[in-house]
A and B are shown apart, each in its own frame.
Chain A
Amino acid sequence: MSLAKRIIPCLDVDNGRVVKGVKFVDIRDAGDPVEIARRYDREGADEITFLDITATHDNRDTIVHVVEQVASEVFIPLTVGGGIRVLEDIRRMLNAGADKVGINSAAVFRPEFVKEAAEKFGSQCIVVAIDAKKVSQDGEENRWEIFTHGGRKPTGINAVEWAVRMKDYGAGEILLTSMDRDGTKSGFDLALTRAISEAVSIPVIASGGVGNLDHLADGIIEGKADAVLAASIFHFAEYTIEQAKKHMQSRGIEVRL
């Protein structure tokens, strides 16, 4: 018995409210982030991730306030992603009480940003978020590419090579989202998850597509992920975190109960 695999509920926050869309459209309101974070903490979440999807810069203060409030009463690791573009954004989130920040498109735009961030704040707080889509055809060898702009814009970058480069630049962890699966409830892209997890020496969080509890266990067992992230199955109370952990345990996975 040793290190537990982690379950990380993700809260997509827009203007101070938790929302969840399917493939970034059809957004449904899921409630108050502070209240939801408190519930997840009670249920045994191992960490909580906030993704700030607020479109305008003016509303950025809202997420800082949410993190401050949650960090004052929830004593587990908190990650904030979305709109992290300069070192000052990172400092602000860490000062508000976040433990890690997720860097996504800013890394694609200028990879050295990850290096500078890791040198300044330490690798332990730098999570590189990768949105990948399968671009190989059936019958070809698997190939995934990085997409930006919510999965709309291809970059031509090979996802596995990118993950290795980000690790070399000082990322402490990879948050890997399959844009093919996100919001579909059909399970993680296990081949993608496994390819990335076996290519890098840092922890990988699987994301995108969880629809039931077996999907979480599959991400660990077949995808070789170190942690699994899910949003809607927890927000809409389909399952509690505790149920998810008990299920994972029944499939032989070490969890914190």
Chain B
Amino acid sequence: MSSVAVIDYGMGNLHSIAKALQHADSRVNVQITADASVIRAADHVVFPGVGAIRDCMHALNDSGLADVIREVAQSKPFLGICLGMQALLTDSEENDGIACLNVFSGHARRFADHMLDADGNVLKIPHMGWNQVKQNPHPLWRDIPDRSRFYFVHSYYAAPDDPRHSAATADYPQAFTCALAKDNMFAVQFHPEKSQTVGLQLLQNFLAWDGIA
């Protein structure tokens, strides 16, 4: 039986992602774990996260999971979600600047205050709700119509140094990168586990993925 490890480093509720993975493929053994050996042994790894980046990086560094993540992110199908995506970058502007895992070269930047939409209304931060995702070709978008809406909630976004690592963009109001891809790694800013049918399809695609882009 194929297995997926959901990395538990104490940042937020992992119930939803675990349930959604199980729902996406009932044959997969889903394990919520902080155990490095379980993470290394899993076929697929999911790295979720909500909250603030400082606490996230502290938790990863203190537990030793930072090194485990750097290792498995190079070796097996790996999916970062939300704060888990931002933690993969070089650094983040949040909490006055925090060094991150540097798996993807790039930066997490804050949306500017007082941005206006087309009607002249001020755009709210966090960017919260269902936004359209414009795909760049990747196996994880299989059977998901381009510009499908996914659920977002975040105030910071990923700015990769290499634009070829952008696997999708969304507009708020300018286009920003909302998915990253490189080799066996994929990461999304939105929450597939909260994005109904299209989110479950993405998780199913991930569980079926061999890590070859």
- A residues with a Cβ closer than 8 A to B are 1-6, 41, 46, 71-73, 75-77, 94-99, 121-125, 172-173, 198, 201-204, 224, 226-227, 256
Selecting from B36-44, B63-71, B73-81, B149-157, the interface stretch reads B149-157
Residue contact A72 to B19, C-beta cutoff 8 Å: yes
Contact pick for B13, options A46, A95, A226, CB 8 Å: A95
Residue contact A75 to B194, C-beta cutoff 8 Å: yes
- Measured CA separation A172–B154 after assembly (Å): 10
- Give 14 new A-B contacts, CB below 8 A, not counting A97-B19, A124-B154, A125-B50: A1-B171, A2-B132, A3-B129, A6-B129, A71-B15, A72-B19, A75-B23, A75-B196, A96-B15, A124-B126, A124-B128, A172-B126, A201-B125, A224-B121
Residue contact A203 to B194, C-beta cutoff 8 Å: no
The answer to whether A94 and B125 touch (CB under 8 A), given A75-B23, A121-B51, is no
Nearest A residue to B154, CB-CB: A124
Residue contact B12 to A121, C-beta cutoff 8 Å: yes
CB neighbours (8 Å) of B117 from chain A are: 2
CB neighbours (8 Å) of B193 from chain A are: 75
Could you tell me the distance in whole angstroms from the C-beta of B44 to the nearest C-beta in chain A?
19
Residue contact A97 to B12, C-beta cutoff 8 Å: no
Could you tell me the distance in whole angstroms from the C-beta of A194 to the nearest C-beta in chain B?
11
- Measured CA separation A226–B12 after assembly (Å): 25
Identify the interface centre among A75, A99, A121: most chain B CB within 10 Å of its CB: A75
The answer to whether A97 and B51 touch (CB under 8 A), given A3-B172, A224-B121, is no
Residue contact B200 to A226, C-beta cutoff 8 Å: no
Residue contact B121 to A172, C-beta cutoff 8 Å: no
Q: From residue 132 to 159 of chain B, which have CB atoms closer than 8 A to chain A?
A: 132, 147, 149, 151-155
CB neighbours (8 Å) of B123 from chain A are: 3
Residue contact B172 to A99, C-beta cutoff 8 Å: no
What's the A-B contact tally at a CB cutoff of 8 Å?
Answer: 105
Contact pick for A99, options B16, B113, B170, CB 8 Å: B16
Could you tell me the distance in whole angstroms from the C-beta of B147 to the nearest C-beta in chain A?
8
Could you tell me the distance in whole angstroms from the C-beta of B188 to the nearest C-beta in chain A?
15
Could you tell me the distance in whole angstroms from the C-beta of B58 to the nearest C-beta in chain A?
13
- Measured CA separation A224–B124 after assembly (Å): 11
Nearest A residue to B82, CB-CB: A124
Contact pick for A226, options B19, B128, B147, CB 8 Å: B128
The answer to whether A256 and B19 touch (CB under 8 A), given A2-B173, A124-B50, is no
- Measured CA separation A77–B121 after assembly (Å): 25
- Measured CA separation A129–B205 after assembly (Å): 38
The answer, yes or no, to whether B212 is at the interface (CB within 8 Å) is no
The answer, yes or no, to whether B182 is at the interface (CB within 8 Å) is no
Could you tell me the distance in whole angstroms from the C-beta of B168 to the nearest C-beta in chain A?
14
Nearest A residue to B51, CB-CB: A122
The answer, yes or no, to whether B48 is at the interface (CB within 8 Å) is no
Identify the interface centre among B50, B124, B155: most chain A CB within 10 Å of its CB: B124
Could you tell me the distance in whole angstroms from the C-beta of B204 to the nearest C-beta in chain A?
12
- Measured CA separation A124–B155 after assembly (Å): 9
Residue contact B153 to A124, C-beta cutoff 8 Å: yes
The answer to whether A75 and B125 touch (CB under 8 A), given A2-B172, A94-B12, A122-B50, is no
